[in-house]
Amino acid sequence: EALKVLFSVIGMTCSACAGSVEKAINRLPGIREAVVDVLNNRAQVLYNPSLVNEETICETIENVGFQTTVIK
Ligand code: 9UX
């Protein structure tokens, strides 16, 4: 029962940006996988919804310094 959510992540300009977003997301409880694509400004996250939610993931991305919205 993992959920998969795709986020738009605006403002990443290098692969280290993507790495810092991935690292921050992976520090949250309940994250199964986080794949951040700097070229397409996307983050695909697979997570356990009983341990974490979209809002917390959004806040985490914003705290790293990027604007984000849920795409689907
Ligand atoms: Mo390097 Mo990416 O400062 O912001 S991590 S461009």
**40 C-alpha to ligand 1 centroid (Å):** 16
Q: CB of 16 closer than 6 A to ligand 1?
A: yes
pLDDT at 58 over 90: yes
Tell me how far apart the alpha carbons of residues 13 and 4 are, in angstroms, rounded to a whole number: 24
**What is the position in ligand 1's atom list of the atom closest to the CA of 11?**
4
Probe target for ligand 1 pocket from 9, 12, 13, with the most ligand atoms within 8 Å of CB: 13
Residue 45 has pLDDT above 90, yes or no: yes
Task: Check pLDDT > 90 for residue 48.
Answer: yes
In three-state secondary structure terms, 29 is: coil
Rounded to the nearest whole angstrom, what is the distance from the C-alpha of residue 49 to the centroid of ligand 1? 31
Q: Residue 1: which pLDDT band, with cuts at 50, 70 and 90?
A: confident
**pTM for this predicted structure:** 0.95
What per-residue confidence (pLDDT) applies to 26? Answer: 98
For 7-34, how does the pLDDT look when each residue is reduced to its tens digit (9 = 90+)?
Answer: 999 999 999 999 999 999 999 999 999 9
Cα–Cα distance, 19 to 12 (Å, whole number) = 10
